[in-house]
Amino acid sequence: MWQLLQIELFKIFRKPRTYISFVAIAAMVIIVQIALKFDGRSYVEFILGSLKDSLEIPYDTILNGYFVCFVILNLLLIHIPLLIALVAGDSVAGEANMGTLRLLVTKPVSRTQLMLAKFMATVLYTALLLLWMAFLALLLSVLLFGVNDIIVARNDVLEVIKSNDVLWRYIAAFAYATVALTTVAALAFLLSVFAENSIGPIVSTISIVIVFTILSEMQIPLYDRTVKPWLFTSHMLAWKGFFYTQTDSTHTSIPGSIENLPAILRSFGILMGYIVLFVGSAIVAFKKKDILS
């Protein structure tokens, strides 16, 4: 199995398109950092809205590395699925397109092992991409902007979290984001089984993610309780839940607390369910597939 995984990883990292994602993330992160370095105050003013009329805002300290990292994640984690689909959608369909899939299944390994190795390689790619993002968005931002308490702007709540209470939240958020993006990878992986070239599964995955994300963000009561709770895109945002804190009776936030951990665990469970469903379906479909290419 380890040897299979090594082979699959070699295939992934041999292709130039794999590195497009790493370059794209670096470009996007650095662009946001430059923008905030030179005009971060405007952004802080925007997110604090009319509060500047009633509160004295310490703009310089708000614009710190932790805050910048949160802004970057907020902006990019919606777009990263597109980059994940580039590789995951190619894993089986790419081989079919090159004519190597038939040869591959003649090897003395089961189709299940082959699919699991391919999926694990995709998961490792996803994790590496997020590690790269964490390095740039968190470490580089901390180096450029320093460290201080973080302000998290929600729809109708403003959270302040102490700097010594932030790092574990980022570690949890990145770990959760890996699971969230693995769900997208699993979807692209499933679609990849049914295609003869990688364009189809990549475009299909991107389309599904876009439609589901729009549905997740729409404020329509009909969908709120019926459709949205079951869309995986609704649960992909649960990484933010690690930055929502509990409060005592005087609205003072409690350090080290999470506002609704059961909800995050439920979202985690739903995403894991989707991953199992997508990968399981992909394996079943692949085992039944009559491979002609």
Partner 1 sequence: MIKTIITGWLLVLVGAPAFTYAQDATLLVQQVRTKLDKVNDYEAAGVMKTDVSFMKVPAADVKVYFRKPGKLKIKNEKGISLVPKGSVSISLNNLLSGKYQVLDGGMDTIAGVPVRIVKLLPLDDNGEVVLSTLYIDPAKLLILRAKTTTRESGTNELEMSYGKYAAYALPDRVVFTFNAQEYKLPKGVTFDYDDGSSKQKPAGETKSQRGKIEIAYSSYTINKGLPDTVFE
Cβ partners under 8 Å of residue 64, min gap 6 = 145, 146, 147, 148, 149, 150, 163
Residue 225 has a CB neighbour count (10 Å cut-off) of 8
Site string for partner 1, 96-125 (x = CB under 8 A): ------------------------------
User: At 74, is the secondary structure helix, strand, or coil?
Assistant: helix
The yes or no reply on residue 143 touching partner 1 (CB under 8 A) is no
167-193 and 199-217 helices, crossing angle to 10°: 130
Among 9, 263, 284, 291, binds partner 1 (CB under 8 A): 263
Q: Which of residues 107 and 154 has its CB atom nearest to partner 1 in the complex?
A: 154
Among 255, 269, 273, 280, binds partner 1 (CB under 8 A): 255
- Taking the complex as a whole, how short is the minimal distance between the CB of residue 165 and partner 1, in angstroms? 8
Q: Which of residues 157 and 171 has its CB atom nearest to partner 1 in the complex?
A: 157
The yes or no reply on residue 270 touching partner 1 (CB under 8 A) is no
The yes or no reply on residue 178 touching partner 1 (CB under 8 A) is no
- Taking the complex as a whole, how short is the minimal distance between the CB of residue 7 and partner 1, in angstroms? 38
Residue 46 has a CB neighbour count (10 Å cut-off) of 9
The yes or no reply on residue 50 touching partner 1 (CB under 8 A) is yes
Give yes or no for a contact between 51 and 153, defined as CB atoms under 8 angstroms apart: no
The yes or no reply on residue 219 touching partner 1 (CB under 8 A) is yes
The yes or no reply on residue 240 touching partner 1 (CB under 8 A) is yes
DSSP 213-226: HHHHH---HHHHTT
DSSP state of 110: -
Distance of CA 215 to the CA centre of its chain: 18
Residue 186 has a CB neighbour count (10 Å cut-off) of 28
Interface with partner 1 by CB under 8 A: which residues? 47, 49-51, 53-58, 61-62, 74, 78, 148-149, 151, 153-163, 165, 217, 219, 228-229, 234, 237-241, 244-245, 247, 250-255, 259-260, 263-264, 267
